[in-house]
Amino acid sequence: MIVGKYPSLRLRRNRKSSWTRKLIQENTLSPNDFILPIFLIDGVNKKQHIKSMPGVYRYSVDRISQIIDKAISKGIPMVALFPNTKKSLKNELGSEALNENNLVCRTSRMIKKKYKNQIGIMCDVALDPYTSHGHDGLIKSDKILNDETIQVLINQSLLQAEMGCDVLAPSDMMDGRIGKIRKAIDQNNFQDVQILSYAAKYASSFYGPFRDAVGSKSSLKGDKKTYQMDFKNSDEALREVALDIKEGADMVMVKPGMPYLDIIKSIKEKFKIPVFAYQVSGEYSLIENAINKNLVNKDAVYESLVAFKRAGANAIVSYYADRIDKIIKQST
């Protein structure tokens, strides 16, 4: 409700200088709001630039400490691990997902051993970094199989939990997977492992650079529209979230981020559950390239991130997380 009337009321009065703007500001950002995605690659002493994501790198396991130290020192509470799996290790079934010496498992063990509980580890539950066809699940006659895929996701979840993963993040969009994963990990004494469900994950063009980063872009056959959501829908997102909460999700993710602020807001208002936003690779690359070309200034980053808080997100997965202290300092 708007009360007051011009000219006795002038909203510009509260904006007249920086100190008063600080007092009336409704949202702020802190490094504690961020999750840092890390791309992993095989080999030794590698820090490999990802061309489609300026400023983002793939690290070999022996160099992970460098980035984890940085994240901890800045106050980032959690990292998310994403593997760039060698082509020779990919197959139709994505079996490398169940190899206890795969990149994610080796890295999780290393981080837990060295850093204990100083930082959380989040692992995607999905098969796309491991399948030769680039899909998140198993395929039969061009169909992504739901229930058969869940069986593999359960095993992937159990393995990741065993390796030290704190937060399992199913990003596959199969129906019913949250309940089945929750049940299986509970039965194996992983009651404390959290589930962050990618509940509202849309079939989006904004994942392009990520697929390049994990090496699934060239192999992806077709699109993901039979399991990821149609971006024309919002009621459907609420149904997805409602089901995942019933099945045992501790937190839910909305993805991509910026084009879906309305979804973040309505989930938060309806369910009062922790909602995370994923500022995905395409959003990152658009902003970063625009800054590099002087089309927008650097403050665009801060603006894009505050938008998530304004919409109601509790935390943000962002490729800017490793630089967030500088971004906050520079733009406030």
Q: Hey, which residues are catalytic here?
A: 201, 255
Binding residues for ligand PBG restricted to 37-96, rule: CB under 6 A = none
Q: Does 126 bind ligand PBG (CB under 6 A)?
A: yes
Select 160 or 171, whichever has its Cβ closest to ligand PBG: 171
| 94: three-class secondary structure by DSSP | coil
Question: Is the Cβ of residue 33 or residue 124 nearer to ligand PBG in the bound state?
Answer: 124
Look up residue 230 and give its DSSP letter.
P
**Nearest partner of 129 among 91, 80, 100, judged by Cα:** 91
Q: Least distance from C-beta 88 to ligand PBG, angstroms?
A: 21
Are 36 and 71 within 8 A, CB to CB?
Answer: yes
If 0-12 CB within 10 Å is exposed, 13-18 middle and 19+ buried, where does residue 21 land? exposed
Applying CB under 6 A, does 136 fall inside the site for ligand PBG? yes
Asked if residues 191 and 136 have their Cβ atoms less than 8 Å apart, the reply is no
Is 302 one of the binding residues for ligand PBG (CB under 6 A)? no
Contacts 24+ apart (CB under 8 A), 230-236: 230/202, 230/203, 231/202, 231/203, 231/204, 231/259, 231/260, 234/262, 234/263, 234/266
Window 246-285: residues binding ligand PBG (CB under 6 A) = 280-281
| Site residues (CB under 6 A) for ligand PBG, limited to 156-185 | 171
Q: Compute how many other C-beta atoms are within 10 angstroms of the C-beta atom of residue 271.
A: 16
Question: Based on CB atoms, which residue is closest to ligand PBG, 115 or 252?
Answer: 252
**262 to each of 10, 25, 202, 318, how far by Cα in Å?**
29, 21, 13, 19
Task: Quote the least distance from Cβ 24 to ligand PBG, whole Å.
Answer: 34
Compute the least distance from the CB of residue 256 to ligand PBG, in Å: 7
| Of positions 59, 190, 202, 207, contacts ligand PBG by CB under 6 A | 207
# residues near ligand PBG by CB under 6 A: 10
Which range binds ligand PBG by CB under 6 A, 42-50, 124-132, 183-191, 246-254?
124-132
> In the complex, what is the shortest distance from the CB of residue 187 to ligand PBG, in angstroms, rounded to a whole number?
25
The SS3 of residue 122 is: strand
Q: By CB under 6 A, which span of 40-48, 206-214, 266-274, 288-296 interacts with ligand PBG?
A: 206-214
For residue 96, the minimal CB distance to ligand PBG (Å) is 15
Minimum Å gap between C-beta 53 and ligand PBG is 9
Contact status, residue 182 vs residue 248, Cβ threshold 8 Å: yes
Q: What does the angle CA 82 – CA 87 – CA 92 come to, to the nearest 5 degrees?
A: 90
For ligand PBG, give the closer residue by CB, 68 or 280.
280
Q: Exactly one of 210, 276, 302, 308 binds ligand PBG (CB under 6 A); which one?
A: 210
Report the residue from 211, 247, 257, 263 that binds ligand PBG according to the rule CB under 6 A.
211
CB 187 within 8 A of CB 160: no
**Contact status, residue 195 vs residue 168, Cβ threshold 8 Å:** yes
Given the rule CB under 6 A, which residues bind ligand PBG? 124, 126, 128, 136, 171, 207, 210-211, 280-281
